[in-house]
Structure 1
Amino acid sequence: MFRLFFFSLFVVIPGVLAAQNAALRGVVTDGADQPLPGVHVLLPALDRAATTDNDGAFFFEGLPARSVLLRSSHLGYAMNEQRVELTPGVTRQLRIHLREAVIDLGMVSITGTRGADLLRNTPQPVSVIGAEHLLRRVTVSVPDALAAEPGIALVRDGMWGTDVSIRGLSRSNVVTLVDGARIETATAHAAGLSMIDLTDVDRIEVIRGPASSLYGSGATGGVVNIVTRAGGYTDGLYFGGALSSSYASVNRGSAGALTLDMADRWWYAHAHGMLRSAVDAETPNGTLSDSRFHDRNMSFSAGLRPYRSHEVRLRYQRFHAQDVGIPGGSSFPASASARYPDEDRELITAEYATGPLGTHVSNLTLRYLRQSIGRNVEIVPNDKVTLRPSADHEMDALQLQNTWLFGGHRIIAGADAWARRYSGIRLRELHASSTTIADLPLPDASFRSIGAFLQDEWTLLDGRMRLSLGGRVDQIHVENEEGYDLVYIDSDGQRNDSPPGRALRWTAEESDEISWSMHAGALYHLTDALSLTLNASRAFRAPSLEERYQYIELGDALWLGDEDLAAERGSMFDFGMRLHGSRVSIRANTFLRLMSDLVVDERMSDTLYMKTNIGEARLYGAELTGEYSPFDAAVLYATASFVRGQDTKNDIDLPQMPPLSVRLGFRMPIGEFLYADVSLDAAADQDAVAAGEDRTPGYALYSLHMRSTQLRFAGVGIQFFAGVENMFDRPWRRHLSTLRGLLRDEPGRNFTVRLRMLW
């Protein structure tokens, strides 16, 4: 039924496919004339993109016969732009050289703002981490990789289980996408961002601010858009691959990954596998119990072009973790043990895409996604009882998007619909009496969202000003089944499904609401190097299933949801300045976020926390990123970020606000083949805390990382990476890991090494 409604949102797209038989192929190399893999090659006017393979090659087919702009970009390199004349029936051949950029010039393509564009031309504040940067450090999860970015703080529930906070908002306020699929799972101890294989990630884009007008409910804090690697078409049979291995001393963590790629003119296939294992981590205060993990991932993607600019793409991902420890703390006795016996994430994606349809429609994409996440937890507070919560999270999504070109306007229109279904149970095993008591942490429930969006981008004043205006409307439907405080009691193998004294905890209910969101952005180039940005947005978020219904016991503490929570609404204003010169690069932003009915955990007593709406809240802060090259390829760099959150109605601080943080560093080449990077990561004391929240002392950590250039032997590229983190083995603690007392010790000195081979 909802699919019929989904398609009824659109009129029939006019236009007949014109003859498109021009082709373009090329090779991208670096300054040493070595093939450069992972380069993003874009035809902006056609919204066609490709990524170079391990030989630096790319290939486009089914292009219209016309003059087009070709843009090649890669993190760490200066962008190359050139105009190419395409001729019917002719394959143009190009050889493109990218010179290494000593400092960040913002010349990298992004897609998280719905349309492919250059980072420096996007009004919104966006951070991008590319595959090459991910290789330089041996990190456990996506949040670990993002922790150094301004405005982004790591939320740690364990060594493996992590999340991110963007400008003071996290978990339910941040939408996480993996190849377009939302990671919809529990919002507490979820570890959703830990079930991503970083060795198969092409790039991570983070929108630091509300994006509800693009992605719907939940994006009030921002969006983490994870794009995994995929194959690409070639003009002849191609076979390539990559092999990598890494080691981290702090937890004796070892990992290995293998990638295989095959392609031809009409098809491509990409296969990847990863295996990883780690024991309990060492801290300056001793071994951190229950911090071990073991996981593996397999993924496959394929593309088929049945006719020129028409394409069918398939993706499959399966991530499995087992025996993952959850460190103890104040929530459990010192002797307690907690772990995930196993967690699974499975994603299936089917996508159909076309090139130009007529004169004004440059592309159309239709995508179906199905994702399932299974979570099992085991908590042993003492030798008398074992708790076993488990849950399944199923999600289906359908997305349609197309791009229209009218004069200087690029209009991105589309609709999406997704539905999440939850079912779970919690078992309490009493060993002395051989009794199992089953209850529900949440009732079986579902969350459905249907929305349509429209975004217009255009330029004025001979290209010096760029404007963006967008909005969307969503219909949200939430329903739950009735649930009892006791499901059954099993004693000595005798199960009773109607135990005496059980009571109805949740009645069956459903609710509907309509929401709207919008944003406006402007970027003005004062000079070729200096530009100003201004963004304003109105965001919306419906409370998640966990926030509405949760009934979670952690040690002696109880965490409750509230079925009557109101939806969060907020407005955000962001002002930025960007300077990109030949030797200096500066990006600065200041923001103000005004929110009503913000959902937080309110401390009702020493043992009771409850989800509640704060009437009015204000969050404000600033971010700074700077790079300066005093000579040759040497670079001094710095980042800083600050955020403050206040409950303006009660004039108190909001919980879980990250402290002022700073990163300072210096990187430079050593000889012809090595690069060194020395950095200082520091945070101030966090004394602006809410009632019941611990204050956290500041810290300063020194790290050294080194990498080689890619060395080629007999057609095989080899690259080395090594580093030492927390060089002086100082004890420290992240503030966003202390609210529940789950983690009070961060890793100590850590030696890392990685080897990668390409062919």
Structure 2
Amino acid sequence: MRQVSVIIKFNLVTLRRFVIFTEKSMKNFTFLLLFSVFGGELLCHASGEQANIISLKNDSLLFSSDQIELDVFDSIPEKNIKEVVVYGISSGRLTFPLSLVSKTSLLNSSFTTPADALQRETGIFMSRDGIWATSVNIRGLSEQRLLFLVDEDRLLTATDIAAALSTVDMNALERIEVIKGAGSVLYGTGAMGGVVNFVIERPAFTPFLESHGNIHSSFNSSNQLWSNHAKLQLTNRQWYLSLNGSYRTADNIRTPEGKIPNSQFNDASWGMQAGMSSVANQELLVNYQHFEAWNVGLPGGSAFPPTATVRYKNVQRNLFDAEYVFYEITDYLKQLRLKAYTQNISRDVENIVNTSTAIFPSSNNITSGIKAVGDWEFTAYHKLTLGTEGWLRDAKTSRIKKVNSGTQINVFGEQPTPNAQVQDMGIFAQYSWEFSPRYWMLDAGIRLDYMKTTNDSAFQPVYKYSYFPENPSMRIYEDIPRSLLFKADEKNEFSYSAHIDLIYHPTRRQMLALSVSNSYRAPSLEELFKYIDQAGTLRVGNPDLRPEKGFFSNFSYTLSEDHFYIKTDLFANYLFDLIAEQHGTYTYQDEKGKVTQREALINTNIDKALFLGGEMELQWKINPVFSVLANLSYTQGRNIDKDTFLPQIPPMHGLFSVNYHQKELFDASVSALWAAKQGKVAPGENPTNGHLIFNADLHTEKFRINRNYLRFFAGAENIFDKAYYNHLSTTRGVLRLEPGRNIYVKAELGW
């Protein structure tokens, strides 16, 4: 029996695909994987009985459910594989709690949006504006205080009913990484409460020209959702090319009390990832993604009147980035990454208020950035990351309101927000010191940012004209008085963020970690300047908003035995100048001196807010067949000055799952998702009852047919057709039941 040893360092992150080159076919061999988790070392073993594929399963750490496939090639000289460092958001730069949704988890279940997948993780709760338009709340902090990334490129768009997460194709992902806590020290403003990074799947270089790919199709019964995806990968020693595409169409969703009108959606995407390594220790990586959705229903919300029918006519996202990576530049500089990207998100909305009034908002957001990050290793116990980043967001919006008076159509041109830009330049450093090997480790980091915000003047209305239905080309423009909502201005701000982590290993299998950090978030363009008038509740920005600041702390304990894993977290986050919508009177004056007052939700700084909570995750491998997974999350948020509860705080919730594994045949699981009653609500919010829903899923192993394979998936969600509400949907004015029973099937053909 031949043994191969590889050292791989990673921190709670799914490993990429690794290739082992051997002199001959390795039947019945043992593969030895040695890896480090926050300084500790654990040992995993895997054996393979086939000459071409070896499946590696992690028996020591149960948080990793993936199988890693290692291709073994005949008659290839052995190649020495050095230490491999996994690069990504969870590559060890922060000790704050991390969650990861692997490609296996995404494939085995039937998630409509990324928020559906993330809500099963500790500390994360889904918020909903529709079936397609969903987002997440992390430890009581909603999307305004979270930073969304695609391959670490900023995903920025309007923060109100924007559904940025839903523009990511889950079929193209390798994993979803989440930092639960202040990530500002690495990512700057926006990362105050957490970071969600979507990592696109990339192939690996191979010694010969190879072709891999798959086609899969699925069906969901609750909304007649048809989903199709195809992927093709061409790989060689010095280059690779990956192409993928998806298409989905869905009707109105069914709840236990009937279908929800206007909850349909359609979307499609395609992408290209390429890599080239013609020079030793250097790589060029290129990535392009296009996503488009159309006829996406928004069933309701406080921003719209009850009679309105609202939909996204079209949503598009385009991303292009290029990255050049240098490895082993000197004995100390281990890696240097240079990256540039641009991402464009456009939205066109149709709001049919009633038979006489229609509103058509649209927006276009372009974010471009550059980034350079270097990883230094002076000794095995002293490591330093230095980086700099600059990005620019350019936002333009418009809104057309059409009113049918019976004899003519009156058209009003408006601006939801003025044309505005945000520029940011930041530098950051992260130092890691293992001052007592295998026992104590210290991480510390700091980031400095300069931000510049500029905006044009915004008037309401911008213009007005009318036309007769029988002759729409003949427009009659009117000279109307305009009201100045926001005057042209420029603001400059400096900010800093810092953190320190202390990690202690009392034994090889236990870890205690204390993290303390401060964080900073500049108000978004929408919070400063928005004027959202969709014939429902008026929502208005505030140019005088102060930046949010806060102190974050987290204490965690981890125990990882051979077949048992438990992790607990306790956190306390103190924020001041927190930005929230408050009921008030909005006053503006037109050019003729006429003063208008309207009731509105106005963005306001709350002086002090405190978030307290805890999380627990447990995984237990009872025997080679059965395993159990359970988690629990609790958050409480209070306005300290007013001694009231904060809005949009999720209830205590969790997951319990029993899993069955039949080697080389199939895997099955039965799970329960639950949430307690949320009665600790802010003034004006409604409490929601708790719920308990049961799900089941089954998926086969790969049935090999020569070099091809087939795989099947099936499952049932909300098995007992339970009627319940999502608390964070009700706080946003969406008084709709969650989906009822859903049966799904999926098939995959690969090669």
TM (normalized to structure 1)? 0.87
1:720 aligns with 2:685: no
1:513 aligns with 2:489: no
| Match of residue 575 from structure 1 | 555
Residue 331 and residue 374 in structure 1: after superposition, are their counterparts in 2 closer, same or farther (change >3 A)?
A: closer
| Match of residue 645 from structure 2 | 653
On the 8 A contact 1:487/1:497 being kept in 2, the answer is: no
On the 8 A contact 1:80/1:98 being kept in 2, the answer is: no
In structure 2, the residue corresponding to 1:268 is in which secondary structure? strand
On the 8 A contact 1:412/1:456 being kept in 2, the answer is: yes
In structure 2, the residue corresponding to 1:468 is in which secondary structure? strand
On the 8 A contact 1:102/1:633 being kept in 2, the answer is: no
| Match of residue 739 from structure 1 | 731
On the 8 A contact 2:58/2:65 being kept in 1, the answer is: no
Return the alpha-carbon distance in structure 2 between the equivalents of residues 384 and 325 of structure 1.
20
Of the candidates 665, 673, 683, which is equivalent to residue 657 of structure 2? 665
1:437 aligns with 2:412: yes
Residue 71 and residue 352 in structure 1: after superposition, are their counterparts in 2 closer, same or farther (change >3 A)?
A: farther
On the 8 A contact 2:8/2:35 being kept in 1, the answer is: no
- Following superposition, the deviation at residue 746 of structure 1 comes to 0.7
| Match of residue 10 from structure 1 | none
Residue 234 and residue 561 in structure 1: after superposition, are their counterparts in 2 closer, same or farther (change >3 A)?
A: same
| Match of residue 415 from structure 1 | 388
Residue 307 and residue 472 in structure 1: after superposition, are their counterparts in 2 closer, same or farther (change >3 A)?
A: same
Of the candidates 696, 711, 715, which is equivalent to residue 703 of structure 2? 711
Q: Output the amino acid matched with 2:674.
A: A
Deviates most, 543-552 or 607-616: 607-616
On the 8 A contact 2:59/2:562 being kept in 1, the answer is: no
- Following superposition, the deviation at residue 97 of structure 1 comes to 6.0
On the 8 A contact 2:613/2:635 being kept in 1, the answer is: yes
- Following superposition, the deviation at residue 489 of structure 1 comes to 1.1
Q: Output the amino acid matched with 1:719.
A: R
| Match of residue 66 from structure 1 | none
Deviates most, 485-494 or 566-575: 485-494
Residue 713 and residue 542 in structure 1: after superposition, are their counterparts in 2 closer, same or farther (change >3 A)?
A: same
Of the candidates 522, 526, 531, which is equivalent to residue 511 of structure 2? 531
Residue 264 and residue 220 in structure 1: after superposition, are their counterparts in 2 closer, same or farther (change >3 A)?
A: same
- 1:85-132, Cα deviation, whole Å (9 max, x unpaired): xxxxxxxx9997623538625699996865734xxx963210011100
Return the alpha-carbon distance in structure 2 between the equivalents of residues 306 and 613 of structure 1.
54
1:155 aligns with 2:127: yes
Deviates most, 539-548 or 685-694: 685-694
1:339 aligns with 2:311: yes
Residue 344 and residue 511 in structure 1: after superposition, are their counterparts in 2 closer, same or farther (change >3 A)?
A: same
Q: Output the amino acid matched with 2:16.
A: T
Query: Structure 1: 5+ residue runs without aligned partners?
Result: 1-25, 29-40, 60-68, 83-92
Q: How does 1:464-613 map to 2 (within 5 A)?
A: 464-492=439-467, 493=473, 499-604=479-584, 607-613=599-605
1:193 aligns with 2:158: no
| Match of residue 81 from structure 2 | none
- Following superposition, the deviation at residue 44 of structure 1 comes to 4.8
- Following superposition, the deviation at residue 377 of structure 1 comes to 0.6
Deviates most, 650-659 or 714-723: 714-723
Return the alpha-carbon distance in structure 2 between the equivalents of residues 155 and 403 of structure 1.
37
- Following superposition, the deviation at residue 637 of structure 1 comes to 1.9
Return the alpha-carbon distance in structure 1 between the equivalents of residues 569 and 474 of structure 2.
63
| Match of residue 57 from structure 2 | 99
Residue 722 and residue 100 in structure 1: after superposition, are their counterparts in 2 closer, same or farther (change >3 A)?
A: farther
| Match of residue 426 from structure 1 | 399
On the 8 A contact 1:58/1:234 being kept in 2, the answer is: no
- Following superposition, the deviation at residue 677 of structure 1 comes to 0.8
| Match of residue 281 from structure 1 | 253
- Following superposition, the deviation at residue 740 of structure 1 comes to 3.1
Residue 345 and residue 71 in structure 1: after superposition, are their counterparts in 2 closer, same or farther (change >3 A)?
A: farther
On the 8 A contact 2:58/2:64 being kept in 1, the answer is: no
On the 8 A contact 2:548/2:578 being kept in 1, the answer is: yes
Deviates most, 626-635 or 675-684: 626-635
In structure 2, the residue corresponding to 1:185 is in which secondary structure? coil
In structure 2, the residue corresponding to 1:533 is in which secondary structure? strand
Return the alpha-carbon distance in structure 2 between the equivalents of residues 732 and 569 of structure 1.
36
On the 8 A contact 2:302/2:537 being kept in 1, the answer is: no
On the 8 A contact 1:290/1:328 being kept in 2, the answer is: no
On the 8 A contact 1:110/1:205 being kept in 2, the answer is: no
Query: Structure 2: 5+ residue runs without aligned partners?
Result: 23-31, 46-50, 67-83, 468-472, 586-597
On the 8 A contact 1:102/1:635 being kept in 2, the answer is: no
Residue 137 and residue 95 in structure 1: after superposition, are their counterparts in 2 closer, same or farther (change >3 A)?
A: closer
Return the alpha-carbon distance in structure 2 between the equivalents of residues 569 and 753 of structure 1.
47
In structure 1, the residue corresponding to 2:277 is in which secondary structure? strand
Of the candidates 305, 321, 336, which is equivalent to residue 349 of structure 1? 321
Residue 550 and residue 105 in structure 1: after superposition, are their counterparts in 2 closer, same or farther (change >3 A)?
A: closer
In structure 2, the residue corresponding to 1:51 is in which secondary structure? coil
Q: Output the amino acid matched with 1:714.
A: N
Return the alpha-carbon distance in structure 2 between the equivalents of residues 753 and 103 of structure 1.
30
In structure 2, the residue corresponding to 1:518 is in which secondary structure? strand
| Match of residue 594 from structure 2 | none
Return the alpha-carbon distance in structure 1 between the equivalents of residues 214 and 693 of structure 2.
33
- Following superposition, the deviation at residue 176 of structure 1 comes to 0.6
Residue 79 and residue 158 in structure 1: after superposition, are their counterparts in 2 closer, same or farther (change >3 A)?
A: farther
Deviates most, 568-577 or 402-411: 402-411
Q: Output the amino acid matched with 1:478.
A: T
Return the alpha-carbon distance in structure 1 between the equivalents of residues 56 and 710 of structure 2.
20
On the 8 A contact 2:95/2:515 being kept in 1, the answer is: yes
- Following superposition, the deviation at residue 79 of structure 1 comes to 7.7
Q: How does 1:125-524 map to 2 (within 5 A)?
A: 125-329=97-301, 331-407=303-379, 408-431=381-404, 432=406, 433-492=408-467, 493=473, 499-524=479-504
Residue 483 and residue 679 in structure 1: after superposition, are their counterparts in 2 closer, same or farther (change >3 A)?
A: same
- 1:125-163, Cα deviation, whole Å (9 max, x unpaired): 100111001111111111111011110000111100111
- Following superposition, the deviation at residue 602 of structure 1 comes to 1.2
Return the alpha-carbon distance in structure 1 between the equivalents of residues 42 and 350 of structure 2.
50
On the 8 A contact 1:473/1:516 being kept in 2, the answer is: yes
Residue 508 and residue 101 in structure 1: after superposition, are their counterparts in 2 closer, same or farther (change >3 A)?
A: same
In structure 2, the residue corresponding to 1:563 is in which secondary structure? coil
On the 8 A contact 2:715/2:743 being kept in 1, the answer is: yes
Return the alpha-carbon distance in structure 2 between the equivalents of residues 81 and 638 of structure 1.
23
Return the alpha-carbon distance in structure 2 between the equivalents of residues 671 and 237 of structure 1.
32
- 1:291-313, Cα deviation, whole Å (9 max, x unpaired): 11000000001111231112111
Q: CA RMSD in A?
A: 2.7
On the 8 A contact 1:603/1:691 being kept in 2, the answer is: no
In structure 2, the residue corresponding to 1:697 is in which secondary structure? coil
Residue 713 and residue 79 in structure 1: after superposition, are their counterparts in 2 closer, same or farther (change >3 A)?
A: farther
Residue 636 and residue 44 in structure 1: after superposition, are their counterparts in 2 closer, same or farther (change >3 A)?
A: closer
Return the alpha-carbon distance in structure 2 between the equivalents of residues 436 and 245 of structure 1.
45
| Match of residue 27 from structure 2 | none
In structure 1, the residue corresponding to 2:608 is in which secondary structure? strand
On the 8 A contact 2:465/2:478 being kept in 1, the answer is: no
TM (normalized to structure 2)? 0.88
| Match of residue 17 from structure 2 | 52
- Following superposition, the deviation at residue 328 of structure 1 comes to 2.0
Residue 665 and residue 110 in structure 1: after superposition, are their counterparts in 2 closer, same or farther (change >3 A)?
A: farther
